Amino acid sequence: MQPTLSWALAVAAVVVGYFGYGWRGLVLALTVIAFWLLLQFSRTLRVLRSAAQSPLGHVENAVMFNAKLCTGMRLPQVIALTRSLGRKVSDEPEVFGWRDGGGDEVELTFVNGRCTRWQLRRSSAAAVSDGGASP
């Protein structure tokens, strides 16, 4: 959800709660907002906890990971998908990489916190085995 839309809904809830039900509506709106923020915080901690238990920049299958990527994904969404923190390749632009056990690697480029492009790099062993098809 977009942050501006989220904050606009929160302000609308406070205004409607206050004008509709007085101070009780205001308290209810603030309680709902606090609960929503706690849910977001809990989800972020769960993603980071699962990422902390696997090696840095590791993904089970780079090709399947490549197939699941979409333009505009945020880094926390990618971390939830890989269950691993990415290995930082460069700072400007921000590029993170994930590699699987076979040597295939996916590098994602992030601009303003969103994935703008990605590239799958196959290992040389996979390229050799793919090119050896018989006629």
Give the count of beta carbons closer than 10 Å to the beta carbon of residue 69: 16
Residue 26 has a pLDDT of 93
CATH classification for the domain delimited by 55-130, as one of 3.40.190.10, 3.30.1450.10, 3.30.750.24, 3.40.50.300? 3.30.1450.10
Q: What is the pLDDT of residues 76-118, one digit of tens each?
A: 899 999 999 989 998 888 999 999 988 999 999 999 889 999 9
3-state DSSP assignment of residue 115: strand
Q: Average of pLDDT values for 36-40? A: 93
**Domain ranges (residues) in the chain:** 3-51, 55-130
The amino acid sitting at 3 is P
